[in-house]
Amino acid sequence: MSIKTVDLEALTNQVGTLYEAVVILSKRARQVSVNIKAELDDKLSYFEGFENELEDVRMGEEQLRISLEFETRAKPEEIAIEEMFNHEIYYRRAGEDKDAV
């Protein structure tokens, strides 16, 4: 995994403060993580009824392929940061008027 620098000034200009940006990104990363986990569980649930057949090389290879596919995906934090820079995250402050822009 390579380390990428993030322009913190761009994040703070977009949201207001660095603290707010971190809170928004952490909540979005948690949502992405839950979605990825649900997708992985859904794909691996196919293999639940095949306990006796799991020793079969093809079944093990398929499970390994699925696991490796999910390991090579972008991490939830990376996805959240990319969405923030692309203005794809909707957020609002508590107590804001609904009519305020």
Is 29 among the domain residues?
A: yes
Is 67 among the domain residues?
A: yes
Domain enclosing residue 58, as ranges: 8-85
Is 47 among the domain residues?
A: yes
Is 35 among the domain residues?
A: yes
Is 33 among the domain residues?
A: yes
**In this structure, is the dihedral angle defined by the CA atoms of residues 48, 49, 54 and 57, taken in order, positive or negative?**
negative
Is 93 among the domain residues?
A: no
Q: φ and ψ at 86, to 5 degrees? A: -90, 10
- pLDDT value, residue 28: 96
Residue 73, pLDDT above cutoff 80: yes
In which band, very low, low, confident or very high, does the pLDDT at 101 lie, cut at 50, 70 and 90?
very low
Number of domains, the chain? 1
Instruction: Please tell me the distance from the alpha carbon of residue 35 to that of residue 13, in angstroms, as a whole number.
Output: 29
Is 19 among the domain residues?
A: yes
Residue 82, pLDDT above cutoff 50: yes
Instruction: Please tell me the distance from the alpha carbon of residue 28 to that of residue 33, in angstroms, as a whole number.
Output: 9
Say what the pTM is: 0.76
Per-residue pLDDT tens over the stretch 1-30: 577 888 889 888 988 899 999 999 999 999
56: Cα separation from own chain's centroid:
32
